[in-house]
Structure 1
Amino acid sequence: MYLNGDLYLRDTAAEGRTVLVTQPAPGVRVLTMNRPERLNALSAEMIRDLHHALDEVTADEACRVVVLTGAGRGFCAGLDLFSMPGKRAGEADASPQARLHTQQAIAALVPRLRNLAQPVIAAVNGPAAGGGFGLALAADIRVAATSARFNAAFVRIGLSGCDIGVSWLLPRLIGAGRSHELLLTGRLVDAAEAERLGLVSRVVPDGETLDAALEIAAQITANSPMGVWMTKEVAWSQLEVGSLQAGIDLENRTQIMTAFTRDHTEQISAFREKRPPTYTNG
């Protein structure tokens, strides 16, 4: 499917797709939200294209890491209020049924990112608001440009501040007290504060977020596919496990299962022989 990452980027751009797909390194797929004139606000087409791109990731065993970013100077400004998905031509407003379908389609992106076997790195190159904030939170790792800004914008447009999983994810990242403040005020958090809060793992100069994400991706792909998959799955599951012992029981079973993979044996052999491992995902 990918002859060359740059070639594929040109092809998808020529088709006018709202999500560009590139492969800058073996096993690394970059999904770029591509409505820069709207700060990559979520249109109906972009929501569909994101789901389609994630379908392709799920089906591609060669894909090891996903990087999610935005074109231009923004990551994602949330739902496009000037082009409301679900609104039909000639209608003053979308029907309740259409709005619910749209809500479900947007919200479904969050567990889809969380449930991917591949780790997701959000390269937040600018504003991440509302739904864009939710997409960033659903990633496993977040790196931010100095110009990045975050906010749970829902309460500022007359809606509940709790939407698309943000009120579940945010307190688990930064604590309930700080999360409640951000949800109730909808205020902007700049990159420096986001790093202090633990919302992002690092802040880099503008224009370097993708490079930083690819550096992390390379460190991840140096590990075995099964080991990375199980690490992501167990780490997320631990956020819902009710006790230390239940968490340890989950870890114990996962460790025994991964110990019987061929890649585990290869990784040990490569370490002893002081050479890079060759993984077969077996």
Structure 2
Amino acid sequence: MAGRVWILFLLAISLPDKISSITNINKTENSAESRITSPTVSSIIISVPYDKNQHQCSYRIESTINSMSTRRSSSGHYSSLDLSGYALHQPLRSAPYEMYVTDMRVKIPGRTSNNWARVEQCRFDPTMSTLQSRLIFRDIAVTGAVKLYDENAPLKNPLRPSTMTDKCKMTIRLRRAGVGFTTVPRRARTGAVAVSTTATFIEPQFVSVHAYGCDLPSSVYQRTDGPEARDRDDSDISQEMEEVFLKGIRTLITNYMEKEMEQALRDTLMINLGYSVSYGKR
């Protein structure tokens, strides 16, 4: 089993980094897909130089982590971050179907949600005016509901449904995964100081993927040359579904954390550049 887990991990790393789409369902009613956008701040007022010796580099980043909303399970055995507003979509190579993952949630094991993530690195380079930071998740599990669709089914046969599977569940467990950030200043057209951040996923020390109830119907199989071929098709499709789920979760976590941490990273960089940052209405 351990060997298969690492084979899946290596195969997933070899897949293209770009997932067909990561959709924020709550962003718009008129578009099936929309990019993850940053929260709007009314204004940023840059005032007198700030005494950065009074603050550690990671102070605002840690505060943001601790303030991220988590929900306790009824059993109290874990907390969770709700990602139900997001969806993954990817066409499969091994079968002519589209894979969708919805109802996603990040589970944080333990009876307390404190210290579920920590700042492993936070360093400001005054020469390059660059903030390098790194978040590490101790042990998280991401669950999602999976469905396969044949988008062309109604065209081929109006009586044939487009949904090829009932919702099944997939869970990916990541131990010591993380996200690294590089935050740099840039000049906006107005002449004001702006900030841009690049986020990178940090590969975990341990990863496993499990599927629950994802038995595929016979209509999914394209081969008709015997049970052995059907078993082989089943294995290929199931393996690719797990790979797509793993790859999509890596991308989703990276984008999600970049969005959540953007303000803290921006403020930390500005403070280290010698400014104080306050917020007010225009």
TM tier, smaller: under 0.3
Higher strand share: 2
Task: Select the structure with the greater relative contact order (CA < 8 A; seq sep ≥ 6).
Answer: 2
Determine which structure has the larger helix proportion and give its number.
Answer: 1
TM-score, normalization: structure 1?
0.22
Give the number of the structure whose alpha-carbon radius of gyration is greater: 2
What is the TM-score with the length of structure 2 in the denominator?
0.22
